[in-house]
Chain A
Amino acid sequence: MSTPALPGSSDVFADPARDARDAPLPEESVGLWGFLTTIDHKRIGLRFIVTAFGFFVLAGILALLMRLQLAVPENGLIGPDRYNQIFTTHGTTMMFIFAVPIMAALGVYLVPLMLGTRNIAFPRMIAYAYWLYLFGGLMLYTAFVLDVGPDAGWFSYVPLAGPQYGVGKRSDFWAQLITFTEVSGLLVTVSIITTVFKLRAPGMTIERIPLFVWAQLVTMFMTMFAMPAVMVASTALILDRLVGTHFFNYAEGGDALLWQHLFWFFGHPEVYMIFVPGLGVVSAIVPVFARRPQFGYPAMVVSLIATAFLSFGLWVHHMFATALPDVGKVLFTAASMAIAIPTAVQLFCWTVTLWTGKTVLRTPLWFVLGFFFILVLGGLTGIMVSSVPLDLQLHDTYFVVAHLHYVLIGGAVFPLFAGFHYWFPKVTGRMMDEQLGRWTFWLMFIGFNVAFFPMHILGLEGMPRRVYTYSAAMGWGALNMTATVGAIVLGFGILLFAVNVARSLRYGALAGANPWQADTLEWWYSSPPAFGNTHRIPVITSRTPLWTPGGIAGEVRGLSRSPPETLVTSGLEAHPDHRVAMPTPTIWPLISAIATTVLFIGSIFTPWAVVWGSIPVAIALTIWFWPTRAEARRHRALEKSP
C-alpha cells in the first residue's frame, strides 16, 4: 500500500512478541458444540452481522419485486394483498431486523477490540440476544411464506392493524416480531454500555475513547429509552387483538393517535439509532484515509450527544397530518430543523480533516464521500418536510419514500458498506479487492440515485406510497421505469459486493494486523483477533494509540489465562479496579432462547402461553445461572476479597 506512514505508526507484522500476545486464550469452544455455545464477542458479533446482511438481501429482493410491479402502469405481476405483505415485510425487515441490529452488531464486534479488553460484558446475554433475534426474523419470514405476513405497513397503524380491520394473525406476527427484536436489542444496550464504562484498557480516559465507540454509546442510551415505547405499544396492540382490551378502540375510550405517539416516540429516535452508528463508522474511517487525527474531537462528541437529545423531540413531525394543536407542531418543526445543526458540525469537522490531511482515496473513503452526498440531499428534503404546510402536501407520497431512503441508505447503508470494506481485513485477515470495491461503489451510488431521485418528482406529482399499481393516464410511467432500472443497478452493486467478499475470502491479499496503518486499538491485534483478543491488555496514553510514540505504554500483568480473567477499570479515568473471571461457554442461552421463542409465538395463539410458556424459560434461566462446582472451585482459587 502506498499510504504515507505517519511517524510512530506501527506495522507490527511478524513479531515474536506479538505472536505470544495474540495467541488464543485456552478454552475456546470449537466444532459444532463450540458454534452453539460460544461466548466470544467476535463470533457472536460476526454472526449477528451475517444474519442481518441475509435479512437485508431478502428485504432487497422484496424491494426489487415492488419495483418490477411498479415499472409499468396497471401491471398484474403482483396482486394488492401480496403487495401489502411485501412492502410491510420489506420495511419491517429493513428497520427492525437489518438496520438497528447490524449497527449494534458492529458494536458487539468492534467495541471490545477498540477498548482493549478480552470480551464484551455479559457475553452469554449477547448470545441469548442473538438467538432470539434470529428466531424472531425466521418467524417473520415463515409467516410471509405462508401468506400470513403482516400487511399494515412497517409502523402498523391502528385501526388498520387493530382487531376490527387486521384480519387473521398477520398483525400479531408483526407485534411479536417487535417483542423478539426489542428484547434482543435492549439486552445488547446493557452489555455495550457496561463494556464502555467498565472494561476500557487502563489509561483510556473518557476523552480518549474512539469516536466510533462514542457513537455506539450514545446509540445504546437512545435505544434504552426509546425501544421500551414500541414494546409497550406492540404489547398493547396484541392485547387489543387477543384479549379484548381497548387501548386503541375509540368507541371504548381508547385512541388511535395513542398508537402513533407511542410508535413514533420510538420510531423517530430509531432513525438516529441507525444513523448515529453510521456517523461513528465515518469518524473511524475519515482520519485514517486523511492520514491525520480527527479535527474537533470535543465538538464531534458533543454533537453526537446533542443529536441523541434532540432526536427525542421530533416524533410529532410524523403526525403533522393528524388533528394535533398547531402550536405543538411548531415546536416539533423547530426541533426538526435544529437537529440539522449537530450533523452539520460533524460534516464540517470531517471536511476539515479531509481538507487538511494527505487524503488517500480507497473504497471505504469512496463510500464515505457517497454518504456525504446522499445524506446532504436527504437532509435538505428533511428540512422541507419539517415544515407543516409542505408536509401536509407531501405526506404519504413518494416524496417521503425518496426522503427516507436518502436519509437511511445515505446515512446508514453507505457508511455500513464503507465499514465492511474497511474492517473486512480485520475480521477475515484478507484484503478486499480494491478494483471490485470501486465498481461496487459506483454501481450502488449511481443505481441508488437513479432509483430514488425520480421518486421526489413522483411524490410532487401526487403519487401516493403503498399503492400496488397506478393508471397510465397519471403519466407516472417513465419515472417509475427509471426508478426500477436504478433499483436493478443498485442490486447489481450489492451482488458485486457479495462476489468480492467470496473472492477475497479465498484469494484476497493477506492483510497483516494494520493494513490501513490506522490509529485505533482494533488494529493492534492480529487479523482476525484470536479468542480472548489479547494476552496482554495494553495501557493507553493517547487517543490515537497506534499513531503516538509511546501511545501503548505498558501492559497489564498477572491476569489469569485459565480460567480467563479480564480487567475492570473505573468509569471515567479507567484506573484498574478489579479482576473478573470471564464467563465460560454454555448451551443455556440457546436453550433459553428456544424456550422464550415458544412463549412468544405461543402467545400469538393463546394468552395462556405467557403462563405455561414462562415455566421452561424460568427453568432454563435458572440452570444458566447456577454455577458448577468445578467453576466455583476455579474461581475461588483466584479469589481476592475487596
Chain B
Amino acid sequence: MSEVVLDPGSRDVDARALPSYAFGTSSLMWWGTVGVAAIEGTAFALAIIMYFYVRTRVQTWPPSADPPELIWGTVNTLILLASLIPNQLAKKAGERQDLRGVRIWLCVCLLFAIAFIVVRGFEYTALNVKWDTNAYGSAVWFLLSLHTTHLVTDTFDSAVLAALFFTGPLEGKRYADVSENALYWYFVVGAWLPIYVVLYWAPRWM
C-alpha cells in the first residue's frame, strides 16, 4: 500500500490568488456574530415567554401597578430606529474600506448608542413597578435588563473598534469587523422592537 497518489495539476488549489479576508457570509466573523445573536435571541424569546407565563397567573394585568409610562420607551425606540442609518452607513463605509467614512460613522453610531443608554436610565424610573414587587415586576425588569446588558456591551465593543480605527494598528480585515459590528447592532435593534411592544403595549392591550 502506498500513499494516496497526489495528482499535481489537476485538482490542486492555489491559495495565493485568494483574498485574505472577506465580508458577509463568507467571513468567519459573520458566522460567529450570527451564532451569538441566535443564542441571545433565544434568551430574549424565553424571557418574553416568561413574561406571558406569569401573565396567566393573575386576572388583571399589570397586577397592582400602572403600565410603564410610554414616553421614554417610545423615545428610545425612535432613537434606536434612527441609529440604523449611521450603522448602515458605517457598514457601507467598511465595505468600501473607506477609513474616513468608517471613523465618522462609527462615532455617530456611538453617539446614538450613548443617547440610548441615557434615555434607558429614564426608562427604568418610569416602569411604575419594582423587580421585587411581584412576578410581573420581576419579568419586566428581567426583560429590560437583559436588553440593557446587550446594549452596554455592544456600545463598549463599538467604542473599542472606533478607538482602534483612530489609533491603529489597522489591517484590511478590520473593515470586515466594522461590517459585523453593524450586523450585531441590527440584532440589538431587532430584539428591542418585540420587547418594546411587550413591555409598553402588552399591559395596555391585555
Of B53-61, B79-87, B119-127, B185-193, which stretch is located at the interface?
B53-61
What is the predominant secondary structure among interface residues of chain A facing chain B?
mixed
A539 and B13 contact, CB distance less than 8 A: yes
A546 and B15 contact, CB distance less than 8 A: no
Interface flag for A640 (CB, 8 Å): yes
- Please report the C-alpha to C-alpha distance between residue A194 and residue B171 in the assembled complex, in whole angstroms: 23
**Nearest CB in chain A: distance from B48 CB, A:** 11
Q: Which of B27, B35, B46, B170 contacts A189 (CB 8 A)?
A: B35
- Please report the C-alpha to C-alpha distance between residue A252 and residue B13 in the assembled complex, in whole angstroms: 65
In the complex, chain A residues whose CB is within 8 Å of the CB of B4: 8, 10, 12, 545-546, 549-552
In the complex, chain A residues whose CB is within 8 Å of the CB of B13: 202, 539, 554-557, 567, 576
B22 and A554 contact, CB distance less than 8 A: no
**Nearest CB in chain A: distance from B16 CB, A:** 3
In the complex, chain B residues whose CB is within 8 Å of the CB of A186: 39
B18 and A578 contact, CB distance less than 8 A: yes
Category for how many chain A residues contact B: 35 or more
A576 and B15 contact, CB distance less than 8 A: yes
In the complex, chain A residues whose CB is within 8 Å of the CB of B135: 245-247, 249, 252-255
Interface hits, B131-146 → A, CB 8 Å: 131-139, 141-142
Interface flag for B166 (CB, 8 Å): no
- Please report the C-alpha to C-alpha distance between residue A568 and residue B169 in the assembled complex, in whole angstroms: 24
- Residue of A whose beta carbon sits closest to that of B64: A253
Known: A246-B134, A641-B172. A194 touches B5 (CB 8 A): no
> Contact flags (1/0) for A258-277 with B, using CB distance below 8 Å?
10011001000000000000
- Please report the C-alpha to C-alpha distance between residue A622 and residue B23 in the assembled complex, in whole angstroms: 23
Q: Which of A245, A255, A557 contacts B131 (CB 8 A)?
A: A245
- Please report the C-alpha to C-alpha distance between residue A565 and residue B21 in the assembled complex, in whole angstroms: 11
In the complex, chain A residues whose CB is within 8 Å of the CB of B17: 558
Interface hits, A613-642 → B, CB 8 Å: 618, 622, 625-629, 631-633, 635-636, 638-642
- Please report the C-alpha to C-alpha distance between residue A299 and residue B128 in the assembled complex, in whole angstroms: 56
Interface flag for A232 (CB, 8 Å): yes
Known: A5-B1, A258-B53. A632 touches B131 (CB 8 A): no
In the complex, chain A residues whose CB is within 8 Å of the CB of B32: 121-122, 190, 194
A577 and B20 contact, CB distance less than 8 A: no
Q: Which of A225, A261, A553 contacts B7 (CB 8 A)?
A: A553
> Contact flags (1/0) for B53-91 with A, using CB distance below 8 Å?
110011000010000000000000000000000000000
Q: Which of B6, B11, B15, B63 contacts A253 (CB 8 A)?
A: B63
Known: A253-B57, A626-B164. A10 touches B14 (CB 8 A): no
Known: A246-B134, A252-B134. A632 touches B168 (CB 8 A): yes
- Residue of A whose beta carbon sits closest to that of B11: A554
**Nearest CB in chain B: distance from A64 CB, A:** 37
Interface flag for A464 (CB, 8 Å): no
- Residue of B whose beta carbon sits closest to that of A618: B156
> Contact flags (1/0) for B19-30 with A, using CB distance below 8 Å?
111110111100
Interface hits, A556-614 → B, CB 8 Å: 556-559, 565, 567-568, 570-571, 576-581
- Residue of B whose beta carbon sits closest to that of A628: B169
A642 and B19 contact, CB distance less than 8 A: yes
- Please report the C-alpha to C-alpha distance between residue A190 and residue B25 in the assembled complex, in whole angstroms: 14
**Nearest CB in chain A: distance from B26 CB, A:** 5
- Residue of A whose beta carbon sits closest to that of B12: A554
- Please report the C-alpha to C-alpha distance between residue A487 and residue B170 in the assembled complex, in whole angstroms: 60
In the complex, chain B residues whose CB is within 8 Å of the CB of A262: 46, 50
Known: A247-B135, A252-B135, A627-B171. A642 touches B22 (CB 8 A): yes
In the complex, chain A residues whose CB is within 8 Å of the CB of B46: 228-229, 232, 262, 265
Interface flag for B36 (CB, 8 Å): yes
**Nearest CB in chain B: distance from A498 CB, A:** 35
Interface flag for A396 (CB, 8 Å): no
B19 and A579 contact, CB distance less than 8 A: yes
A254 and B138 contact, CB distance less than 8 A: yes
B50 and A18 contact, CB distance less than 8 A: no
- Please report the C-alpha to C-alpha distance between residue A568 and residue B43 in the assembled complex, in whole angstroms: 30
- Please report the C-alpha to C-alpha distance between residue A431 and residue B173 in the assembled complex, in whole angstroms: 44
A12 and B18 contact, CB distance less than 8 A: no
In the complex, chain B residues whose CB is within 8 Å of the CB of A122: 28, 32
A559 and B15 contact, CB distance less than 8 A: yes
Q: Which of A198, A625, A632 contacts B169 (CB 8 A)?
A: A632
Interface flag for A244 (CB, 8 Å): yes
Interface flag for A443 (CB, 8 Å): no
- Please report the C-alpha to C-alpha distance between residue A116 and residue B7 in the assembled complex, in whole angstroms: 18
In the complex, chain B residues whose CB is within 8 Å of the CB of A577: 18, 22, 26
Interface flag for A349 (CB, 8 Å): no
Q: Which of B18, B27, B38 contacts A224 (CB 8 A)?
A: B38
In the complex, chain A residues whose CB is within 8 Å of the CB of B53: 255, 258, 261
Interface flag for B160 (CB, 8 Å): yes
Interface flag for A203 (CB, 8 Å): yes
Supply 25 A–B pairs (Cβ within 8 Å), ascending by A: A10-B2, A11-B1, A12-B3, A122-B28, A194-B28, A228-B43, A232-B46, A236-B50, A240-B138, A246-B135, A249-B135, A252-B134, A253-B136, A550-B4, A550-B5, A557-B16, A567-B13, A570-B26, A579-B18, A580-B20, A618-B156, A632-B171, A640-B19, A641-B19, A641-B97
Q: A194-B28, A639-B171 are in contact. List 19 more A-B contacts (CB 8 A).
A: A9-B1, A12-B3, A121-B28, A122-B32, A190-B31, A190-B39, A194-B35, A232-B50, A246-B137, A254-B138, A255-B57, A554-B12, A568-B22, A578-B19, A632-B169, A636-B171, A640-B18, A642-B21, A642-B22
